[in-house]
Structure 1
Amino acid sequence: MPQFRYTATNAQGKTVRGMADAPSEEALYTKLRDDGLYMSEALQTKRVRSTFRPLKTAVLADFCRNLGTLLTAGVPLVRAFRIMADERSIDPQQRALYEAVLGELRKGIPLSDAMESCAPAFPNLLLAMIRSAEGTGSIDHACTRMATYYEREHKMNQQVGNSMMYPLILCVLIVAVIAILMTFVLPQFKPMFDQMEKLPFLTQLLFDASDFVGANWPLLLVALALIFFGFKLLLAQPRIRRQWDRFILHAPVVGVLNRKICTARFASTLSNLYGSGVPIITTLGAARDSIGNRWIESQFGTALDSIRAGHSLSQSIAAIDGFEVKLASSIAVGEETGKLDSLLATISETLDYEAEMATKRLVTLLEPVMIVIMGLVVGGVVAAVIVPIYQSYGTIGASSGAI
């Protein structure tokens, strides 16, 4: 994605300069406008390809926890990164990242800019928290808070992944059972069935399918690969991805789970940034990027314009399709009582718990369904083999009785 060096003006009329990624100047203008900035000039820069990959949530949690602990203990920032870089348990890529940040810090560059220079290693959310904490001198508290956030995010991702592991194993077993029956079991009966004048419909269908797969399996593998990569290419198109994300938010059963997860991510990010004193427009921009759903993210332009027009945060959030209704209600109560940050923290914890319960319910529903499907597949193949055998025995018995 192109990188631009821009000059903009904020709501107070102050000139702001910086660098940002955007597909085009128009997209950059829209992005800055959502953040409360009005671009006056933009120049595309040549960007050196970064050697660092985005850090995983578990690594980010460890990074924030270690840095926060060292800073709380009174260790200087440069010394803290030196200690983390010398840690034996980290991998070479992570050590190189810490060395790169350390090199920038020694030049006198602020921590947020030093971390941003290693993009995309550190997420925008963490950069916004660090940048806000630099102004108040509370980087240690910000790191500790973000460590808790990334630990919760990692726990949620693990819960979803672990919960879906058993249904995935059952799917693999179903495919394996079908492949074994089609490849090894059915061919053993084929010589016997070839002597019969007519086979039952189900038996004939299975043999035709077995013959087709055996003769065309390379083409079938290619077709499956094309379908898989074609689907990924389609989802890479922004318009199609938005509609797909909208579909999974309203799909039966899984839609409830997706809405809870997206709402929990947004509420947790909003709670962390708002509680740290980050301006509301910047907070909403970072919280939007943490949702992971293009359909919800596409509606934030209208929400930000509504807030700039003087409407409350709860009214603006309530108009977004895809969030749980209780989010807007909780924000409204927080605005009325002046305890928005604590209510956001409470609602994010509640939604995390509800997402965990919804995941368990989904898995509980999927397990018997997958077992029934496997039973039907195996039972269908067994019936297709046994029925013609019994028919042949019946025919032989009838012939013997007639004699």
Structure 2
Amino acid sequence: MPRYRYTATNAAGRTVRGTAEAPSLEALYLRLRDTKDEYVTAAKEDTAGAATFRAMKTAQLADFCRNLGTLLSAGVPLVRAFRIMADEIGLDARSKALYEAVLDELKRGVPLSDAMSHCAPAFPELLLAMTRSAETTGSIDQSFLRMASYYEREHKMNQQVGNSMMYPLILAVLTVGVVIVLMTFVIPQFKDLFDQMETLPPLTELLFHISDTVAHHWFGLALAVFAVVMGIRLLMALPAVRLQWDRLCLHAPVVGKLNRKICTARFARTLSNLYSGGVPIVATLISARDAVGNSWIAGQFDAVLREVRAGRSLSETLGSVDGFEKKMASSIAVGEETGKLDSLLATVSETLDCEAESATKRLVTLLEPLMIVVMAVIVGCIIVAVIQPIYLSYGSIAGSTSTF
């Protein structure tokens, strides 16, 4: 999808600049008008930024925001701060080039948000929106420190989920490896012995059939597995399939509750940061929607935005979204009554983060013994399939000896 650099006028009459993806210029005009209440005055396709820079990871974003926020809060000028960051010892070449590009834009008098958007897609829209809001309020240092905490918590959550799934994944790979070794090298050693027998148990015959297939058609099986994986990836790229998959992830037994907590915590955390940073509520909801990472939840936000624009309370509209924990809507309702919405959103996101961490640990606690049992059953079936005909042959020899 093409990326455009645009200049627009917002509802307050101010000139704003930025970048956005859209199928065409007409679609860009409609999108900015409907979602941000901005009217494009000039736009052109941006072909430089996307080819040069890559999207920064959450850990990199956390370091960038922390370093820049600390330097600015210490009174270092913006241009000097980027010069210090670009000259940091041990900085990788890609990050150095990114900081140099932003620095060049700043030296030409371009606002920080525009300089960062020119390096798209290095910086996410969430950070760009927060930077634009901070430029109008003069609190860039505090905004970046706040976003540093946001990305640090996001990185911590991603690491917890990844680390928790590491042990079950190792067990799964070990199980597959053991089965391949047994089928390819161990089972064929018994083939000459079992070929001398007149009949074999069904389990043993099935085992040898699988072993022959793996030994003689392993390349075809590998291609089949590769084709299945690529087919699944292509299916998941289809919007309709992705939508139903994301819906299933939110309502599946055991893991559904965990996914709902993670999505709700991510949304509440984003909403809290942007709302407390002074970003308008409609733009805040759009950025928070995009940060959830679930198409089923994001697809319901067209109705949410319409109801918010119509004057309906935020707690009522978000309470109707399928996939969010009801705790968030209740907390927002209290925040609307007391006027402390930002602090309550921060509290509920921290609470849901803790609950998601606990739910992840419980899930792994269930998965570990389950994977061990599955591995034991598979290996046990292979051992039984090998020992059973030998045991039966000994029994028949003993029976024939006793007749004499």
- Coarse TM-score class (shorter-chain normalised): over 0.9
In structure 2, the CA distance between the partners of 1:310 and 1:294, relative to structure 1 (3 Å rule), is: same
Name the counterpart of 1:66. Answer: 67
Q: Would the aligned equivalents of 2:18 and 2:118 in 1 still touch at CA under 8 Å? A: no
Give the TM-score taking structure 1 as reference length: 0.95
Name the counterpart of 2:211. Answer: 210
Q: Would the aligned equivalents of 1:263 and 1:323 in 2 still touch at CA under 8 Å? A: yes
How far apart are residue 251 of structure 1 and its match? 1.0
Matched, 1:35 2:21: no
How far apart are residue 31 of structure 1 and its match? 3.5
How far apart are residue 241 of structure 1 and its match? 1.2
SS at match of 2:292: coil
Name the counterpart of 2:94. Answer: 93
| Whole-angstrom distance in 2 between the partners of 1:366 and 1:30 | 48
Name the counterpart of 1:45. Answer: 45
In structure 2, the CA distance between the partners of 1:30 and 1:174, relative to structure 1 (3 Å rule), is: farther
Name the counterpart of 1:126. Answer: 127
Name the counterpart of 1:342. Answer: 343
Name the counterpart of 1:274. Answer: 275
Q: Would the aligned equivalents of 1:34 and 1:281 in 2 still touch at CA under 8 Å? A: no
Letter of the structure 1 residue corresponding to residue 45 of structure 2: T
Name the counterpart of 2:299. Answer: 298
Q: Would the aligned equivalents of 1:105 and 1:111 in 2 still touch at CA under 8 Å? A: yes
How far apart are residue 239 of structure 1 and its match? 2.0
Matched, 1:401 2:388: no
Q: Would the aligned equivalents of 2:19 and 2:118 in 1 still touch at CA under 8 Å? A: no
| Whole-angstrom distance in 2 between the partners of 1:216 and 1:225 | 14
> 1:205-240 CA distances to partner (integer Å, 9 max, x unpaired)?
000111112221111111111111111111112222
Q: Would the aligned equivalents of 2:18 and 2:114 in 1 still touch at CA under 8 Å? A: no
How far apart are residue 298 of structure 1 and its match? 1.1
| Whole-angstrom distance in 1 between the partners of 2:278 and 2:12 | 18
| Whole-angstrom distance in 1 between the partners of 2:105 and 2:240 | 39
Name the counterpart of 1:327. Answer: 328
| Whole-angstrom distance in 1 between the partners of 2:344 and 2:97 | 40
> 1:107-137 CA distances to partner (integer Å, 9 max, x unpaired)?
0000111011000111111111111111111
Q: Would the aligned equivalents of 2:17 and 2:114 in 1 still touch at CA under 8 Å? A: no
| Whole-angstrom distance in 1 between the partners of 2:72 and 2:38 | 36
SS at match of 2:198: coil
| Whole-angstrom distance in 2 between the partners of 1:178 and 1:397 | 33
Name the counterpart of 1:104. Answer: 105
In structure 2, the CA distance between the partners of 1:160 and 1:249, relative to structure 1 (3 Å rule), is: same
Name the counterpart of 1:21. Answer: 21
Superposition pairs of residues 240-319 of structure 1, within 5 angstroms: 240-319=241-320
Name the counterpart of 2:392. Answer: 391
| Whole-angstrom distance in 2 between the partners of 1:185 and 1:60 | 50
| Whole-angstrom distance in 1 between the partners of 2:105 and 2:12 | 31
Q: Would the aligned equivalents of 2:6 and 2:43 in 1 still touch at CA under 8 Å? A: yes
In structure 2, the CA distance between the partners of 1:129 and 1:40, relative to structure 1 (3 Å rule), is: closer
Moved over 3 A (4+): 4-19, 24-31, 38-44
Letter of the structure 2 residue corresponding to residue 190 of structure 1: K
In structure 2, the CA distance between the partners of 1:30 and 1:181, relative to structure 1 (3 Å rule), is: farther
Q: Would the aligned equivalents of 1:257 and 1:358 in 2 still touch at CA under 8 Å? A: yes
Letter of the structure 2 residue corresponding to residue 262 of structure 1: C
Name the counterpart of 1:223. Answer: 224
Task: Return 5+ residue gaps in structure 1 as ranges.
Answer: none
Task: Return 5+ residue gaps in structure 2 as ranges.
Answer: none
SS at match of 1:115: helix
How far apart are residue 25 of structure 1 and its match? 5.2
Q: Would the aligned equivalents of 1:4 and 1:42 in 2 still touch at CA under 8 Å? A: no
| Whole-angstrom distance in 1 between the partners of 2:184 and 2:220 | 17
In structure 2, the CA distance between the partners of 1:138 and 1:8, relative to structure 1 (3 Å rule), is: closer
In structure 2, the CA distance between the partners of 1:226 and 1:58, relative to structure 1 (3 Å rule), is: same
Instruction: Report percent identity of matched pairs.
Output: 67
How far apart are residue 8 of structure 1 and its match? 6.3
| Whole-angstrom distance in 1 between the partners of 2:340 and 2:393 | 80
Letter of the structure 2 residue corresponding to residue 103 of structure 1: D
Q: Would the aligned equivalents of 1:25 and 1:42 in 2 still touch at CA under 8 Å? A: no
In structure 2, the CA distance between the partners of 1:18 and 1:157, relative to structure 1 (3 Å rule), is: closer
| Whole-angstrom distance in 2 between the partners of 1:43 and 1:125 | 21
Letter of the structure 2 residue corresponding to residue 206 of structure 1: L
Greater mean alpha carbon deviation, residues 11-20 or residues 95-104: 11-20
| Whole-angstrom distance in 2 between the partners of 1:61 and 1:303 | 30
> 1:74-99 CA distances to partner (integer Å, 9 max, x unpaired)?
11000000001110121111011101
SS at match of 2:52: coil
How far apart are residue 4 of structure 1 and its match? 3.8
SS at match of 2:20: strand
Counting matched residue pairs gives: 403
| Whole-angstrom distance in 1 between the partners of 2:375 and 2:277 | 52
Q: Would the aligned equivalents of 1:4 and 1:43 in 2 still touch at CA under 8 Å? A: yes
Letter of the structure 2 residue corresponding to residue 173 of structure 1: L
Name the counterpart of 1:54. Answer: 55
How far apart are residue 69 of structure 1 and its match? 0.8
Give the TM-score taking structure 2 as reference length: 0.95
In structure 2, the CA distance between the partners of 1:34 and 1:241, relative to structure 1 (3 Å rule), is: farther
Letter of the structure 2 residue corresponding to residue 54 of structure 1: A
In structure 2, the CA distance between the partners of 1:155 and 1:179, relative to structure 1 (3 Å rule), is: same
Matched, 1:114 2:129: no
> 1:349-399 CA distances to partner (integer Å, 9 max, x unpaired)?
001001101100110010111000001001100000111101000111111
SS at match of 1:20: strand
| Whole-angstrom distance in 1 between the partners of 2:5 and 2:141 | 30
Letter of the structure 1 residue corresponding to residue 325 of structure 2: E
Greater mean alpha carbon deviation, residues 33-42 or residues 144-153: 33-42
> 1:299-348 CA distances to partner (integer Å, 9 max, x unpaired)?
11110000001101111111211111111111111101111011000000
